[in-house]
Amino acid sequence: MLKETSCGAVVYKMLQNGSPAFLLVNSKRNNKWGFPKGHVENGENEIETAAREIFEEIGIKKLKFVENFRQEDVYLINSAIDETKGHLVEKHSVYFLALALESTSNFDEDEISRLEWVDIKKAQEILPFDNQKKIIKLAYDKLIGG
């Protein structure tokens, strides 16, 4: 079985009312909501990968990563080698928590159909996978001291 690792972050900003808003991206590939992330490149550590991918996907370069937040989501995917064969890949998606220190005005339109800042309630409604919902709840709890 092959192993594949991606890194990204739960990106947030604080609203005037003191609650966080989370930036979610809608993938063009599968039309599902999630967090910005991408594959580790040679010589990068996990944080470097997350920062690069966030910049490439959503145009935010100025980030402040929150200490002691690292969540790993592990799942199996079927990856097609060619049109007749497939193989299982053990996918590791590592997520950090990052404060956006600037706004985004553009995103990678080849990979992302849209992005949206949402509160925790809406995030829980539109994220399709239980592991994503768990990760964003942990991020929310870390930010509000829960």
pTM equals: 0.89
Coil vs helix vs strand at 121: helix
State the Cα–Cα distance between residues 29 and 11, nearest whole angstrom.
Answer: 21
> How is the chain split into domains, by residue range?
2-144
Per-residue pLDDT 10s for the chain (146 aa) are 788 899 999 999 999 999 999 999 999 989 999 999 999 999 999 999 999 999 999 999 999 999 999 999 988 877 655 445 567 888 899 999 999 999 887 888 888 999 999 999 999 999 999 999 999 999 999 999 86
State the Cα–Cα distance between residues 74 and 99, nearest whole angstrom.
Answer: 24
- CATH fold of 2-144 reads Nucleoside Triphosphate Pyrophosphohydrolase (3.90.79)
According to the model, what pLDDT value does residue 82 have? 44
According to the model, what pLDDT value does residue 79 have? 63
Q: How many helices (H) and strands (E) does the chain have?
A: 3, 7
State the Cα–Cα distance between residues 3 and 28, nearest whole angstrom.
Answer: 23
According to the model, what pLDDT value does residue 68 have? 95
